[in-house]
Chain A
Amino acid sequence: MPGRLSTIAAAVVFVAMAVPAHAATIQIMMENLEMSPKDASAKVGDTIEWINKDVFAHTATARNGDFDVNLPAKKSATFVLKKAGTVDYYCRYHPNMKATLKIEP
């Protein structure tokens, strides 16, 4: 039945359009005082989810002040990217934990 098939196709197209194609969630692990991946790429509108696997609290703190996310021990937290650019971030408690986010427009 071509009629029903095209209705389904139209619905699929509609759903695909309603959810912006580029909105993704990017996971970054914090384990043994290392962030991985250390260099991550994302786009404006994407969500970064930091997952802290340590028994220590960490933060993801942007050097340019764009974000300062608290990660209690064994917890995760998210941040939605609003601005493009290359952002270096670190942990305020353990400044030897460093990583970079490349955010495309």
Chain B
Amino acid sequence: MFVRWSAAIAAAILLSSPALLQGARAADKPTDPQIAHIAYTAGVIDINAAKQAQKKAKSKDVKAFAADMLRDHEAVNKQALALVKKLNVTPEDNDTSKALSKQASDKLAELDKLSGAAFDKAYVANEVAYHKTVNGALETQLIPSASNAELKNLLQTGLKIFQGHQQHAEHVAAELK
């Protein structure tokens, strides 16, 4: 049941604990159109966060990091769009995408109230946590559930990109202290 899987992933996202995702059962598999939607949404969320950071960040390193996120996630999503077009798949909205978007807009509002160094710190900390959560979802759910080989491939590249971003964010966070 996809609904149950969505509830599990939504709970995990709220708790920012990718480990919880492992509790979901194989039977709770999302479909390829749902996976494509989730992956695309995850990219859009980080693009929006980066746009906010470009306006609000104070530190040069944080601004540069936001530019890197914008560039990479736009490139991944461009590939994702080209692939769904090629495969003739229509991404399908679902509870996981909705939960991700809701949590992201709450976070944007929360960060919007901060400024200066406080914003920089909170943005980078959230980037670390967010990439960790998405990596957990990719590794334990999205990649194993994907049935189309090209989609699986793109998700695997996405995972490497996201893992790179997580490490990059951790470096930036360490420099801010």
Contacts and interface: CB of A to CB of B under 8 A. Distances in A.
Interface in A31-51: 32-33
B138 to A, nearest CB: 14
Nearest to A58: B164
Do most interface residues of chain B lie in helix, strand or loop, or is the interface mixed?
helix
Interface in A86-105: 91-97
A33 B161 contact: yes
B168 interface: yes
A67 interface: no
Interface residues of A, number: 13
Interface string A10-32: 00000000000000000000001
Contact of B157 (A32, A91, A92): A32
Contacts, number: 39
Contacts of B168: 92-95
B78 interface: yes
Interface residues of B, number: 15
A56 interface: yes
A94 B160 contact: yes
B35 to A, nearest CB: 19
B75 A56 contact: yes
Interface in A47-82: 55-57, 73
A96 B164 contact: yes
Considering the complex of A and B, which 8 residue pairs feature the smallest CB-CB distances, nearest first?
Answer: A94-B164, A33-B160, A95-B167, A96-B164, A55-B75, A96-B163, A93-B68, A56-B72
Given A32-B160, A56-B75, A93-B164, 10 more contacts: A33-B160, A33-B161, A55-B78, A56-B71, A56-B161, A57-B72, A91-B164, A92-B168, A93-B68, A94-B165
